[in-house]
A and B are shown apart, each in its own frame.
With several copies, the nearest count.
Chain A
Amino acid sequence: MKKFMNTAETMAAESVEGFVRAHETFVVFGADKRCVRRRHLLPGKVAVISGGGAGHEPMHIGFVGQGMLDAACVGHVFTSPTPSQIISAIEETDSGNGCLLIVKNYDGDIMNFEMAMEMAAGRHDIATVIVADDIETARVGEGHGRRGVAGTLVVEKLLGAAAEQGMPLQALKQLGDGLSARIRSMGVALNGVTVPHTQRTTFALGAGEMEVGIGIHGEPGHSRQPFAASDAIVHQLCETIVGDIAVQPGAKALLFVNGLGGTPPAELYLAYNAARRFMEKQGIAIERSLVGTYVTSLDMQGLSITLALLTAEELQLWDFPVMTAALRWS
C-alpha cells in the first residue's frame, strides 16, 4: 500500500483542508472545521446538507456550492460523521426555511444523522431523504434495504437544484423520496482497498478475480467471480440493473459511469460505451450522461454503473446551473 499521506490519523483532515484551499472562492470551513459549507449562502432557501465517511471524495464536499449542497460533513475514513458535525452544519446553513438532510442508507450514517436531528429538532425544521440506490444488497439482507452509493450524486444534484429554485422543505422531501424507486447502481471491484489506519486490505483478490456487487466502504461484495472482458462485466451490471427497475416504454434516463478511485478515465469511457449500447438496446433513451470519478472507495480499482429514470422536470433539474468543485455547468 502506497498512498500520498503523512499519517493515517491526519489523512482525512489534511485532504479536506487541501480541498477547501483549492476551492476557497466558493467553499469555506464551518466552525472548528466540523463541516464544509458554501461561502455565500442563499438566504430564503432550504439548506441541503449531506455527509459521510471520508474516503469517498469528491463526494460530498465536491458537491458543495451553488445549485447543490449547502454543507457537507466528513467523518473519519469510512466512518460516518458524528452528530456534533451534523448539528454544526445545520446551525450554520439553516436560514429559517428548514434543512433537508440527504443520507446514504448505511446503519452508521442513518443513526448519526438521526441523533443529530433529534438533538437539533427543537430549533430547526428538518426532513431527511434516504438514498438507497445499490442494487445487490436487496437480494441479500431481508428488508434492511439497499446501500446508498453513486446514485447519491444524482439525488443531491436534483434536490440541490430544486432547493436553489425555492422549492420548500416538504416538497423537496417528496421529490427525493420519489426518486428512490427510479435510481439503481451496481459496482464491481478489481482489487480491495487498504484502510490507512490498519494498513491492511479489506479483501484480497487474485489476479484473475473480481468482486461483484461491492459498496463503497471496501467491504466485500455479493460474489467473487473470474475476471472478465469489460463488455461482459458491463453487460452483467446493466442486466441486473435493468432487471431491478421498472422501465416504462419511452423511458428517459441519465446514465452514470462512476470510477471508484483507482480506475482511469479512459477505462470508464470504454465501459460507458458498452453500457450505453446495452441501455439503448433495451429501449431506454439516454438523455444525459456522466462519466468520471465522483463517488470513490479510497483507491479502489473498479467502477459502478448508475441508471436514473427521470421525468422531463427532473432532467431540467439536472441541467440547472451548478457550481461546485466536482460538478460545474451553467
Chain B
Amino acid sequence: MQMEPMLIAGLIEVCRATIAANSDHLCALDRAIGDGDHGTNMRRGCEAVSAEEANLSSLPLPDAVEKIGLTLVMNIGGAAGPLYGTLLMEMGRELRTQEAGGAFPIILKRAIDAVARRGRATAGDKTLLDVLYPVQDALAHRSRLSDIARRAELSANDTAPMKAMRGRAAYLGDRSIGHVDPGASSCALLTVAICRYLEENRPE
C-alpha cells in the first residue's frame, strides 16, 4: 500500500467531509449516553487537520501521520482527542520504525493497542475499540475494502447491546445498553469513508 501526498490530502478531505456531514448525528448519539459533544469535538479536530494540510503534504508519510495525530490531540481535547490522536501518532511512529511496507495490519494493531492502553480499555467496553479491532482483523484477513467497511458498520451497531465500561457512558451502567457508542460510530463512519475513497482512487 503506497501512500502519496495526493492520497493523504484526499483522505484528510474525505474524513473532514464525513464528520461534518455526521456531526449532528454523532452529537445526538453522545447526548443519549454522554455529554452531547462528540460530533463537535471530531469536527474541530478534522478542521484543524485540514487547516494544516499544506504542511502535512510536504512531510514523509510517517511524519505526516504522526503530525495528524498530534494535531488531533492538541485541538480536540475531551476523550476523543487523546484516543484518535494516539491512534495516528502511534501509527506514524510504527510506520517510521517499520520502514518496509506491507505490514500495515501489524502497524495498525500496535496503534490500536496503544489506544487501548491510553484509555485503559479493552474490546467489549463499548468504545471505538469495538470498531477498531474488528477493522484490523478484517484487514489482517485481507478482506476487500467493501467488506472492511461493512464490518466497521456492523461492529458499530454491535455496540448497542453492550454495557459501557469506559468513558462517560459507563456512569450510566445498565442504562447505557441499547444505544450505539458515539466513538464507535465516528470510527465506523471514517472507516467507511476511507474504504470508499481508496476503492475509488485505488493506486493500481
Contacts and interface: CB of A to CB of B under 8 A. Distances in A.
B74 A83 contact: yes
Contacts of B171: 136-137, 140-141, 147, 215, 219, 221-222
A141 B165 contact: yes
Nearest to A139: B173
Contact of B81 (A82, A137, A198): A82
Contacts of A219: 33-35, 168, 171-172
Interface stretch (B36-44, B99-107, B135-143): B36-44
Given A141-B170, A141-B173, A217-B168, A198 B73 contact: no
B178 to A, nearest CB: 13
Contact of B172 (A83, A112, A220): A220
Given A198-B28, A202-B31, 20 more contacts: A53-B77, A76-B37, A79-B76, A82-B74, A82-B75, A82-B76, A106-B168, A107-B79, A111-B79, A111-B82, A111-B83, A114-B82, A136-B171, A141-B171, A144-B120, A144-B165, A195-B27, A197-B40, A198-B24, A202-B36
A79 B37 CA distance: 8
Interface in A26-66: 53
Contacts of A217: 34-35, 168
Nearest to B164: A141
A258 interface: no
Of A137, A201, A219, the most chain B CB neighbours within 10 A belong to: A219
Interface of B: 24, 27-28, 31, 33-37, 39-41, 44, 73-83, 85-86, 118-120, 164-168, 170-173, 175
A245 B65 CA distance: 48
B166 A144 contact: yes
A72 to B, nearest CB: 14
A221 B35 CA distance: 12
Contacts of B74: 82-84
A142 B120 CA distance: 13
B118 A200 contact: no
A75 B175 contact: no
A78 B170 contact: no
A114 B86 CA distance: 12
A222 B173 contact: yes
Interface in A144-192: 144, 147
Q: How large is the interface on A (under 10, 10 to 19, 20 to 34, 35 or more residues)?
A: 35 or more
Contact of B82 (A76, A115, A201): A115
Interface of A: 53, 75-84, 106-108, 111-112, 114-115, 136-137, 139-142, 144, 147, 195, 197-198, 200-203, 215, 217-222
Contacts of B37: 76-79, 195, 197-198
A35 to B, nearest CB: 13
A107 B36 CA distance: 15
28 contacts: A53-B77, A75-B77, A77-B37, A79-B40, A79-B41, A82-B73, A82-B75, A82-B77, A108-B77, A108-B167, A111-B79, A111-B83, A111-B118, A114-B118, A140-B170, A141-B164, A141-B165, A197-B27, A197-B37, A198-B28, A198-B40, A200-B31, A201-B31, A202-B35, A217-B35, A218-B36, A219-B33, A219-B168
A282 B115 CA distance: 46
Contacts of B24: 198
Contacts of A76: 37, 40-41, 44, 77-78
Contact of B27 (A82, A107, A198, A203): A198
Contacts of A201: 31
Contacts of A142: 165
Contacts of B73: 82-84, 115
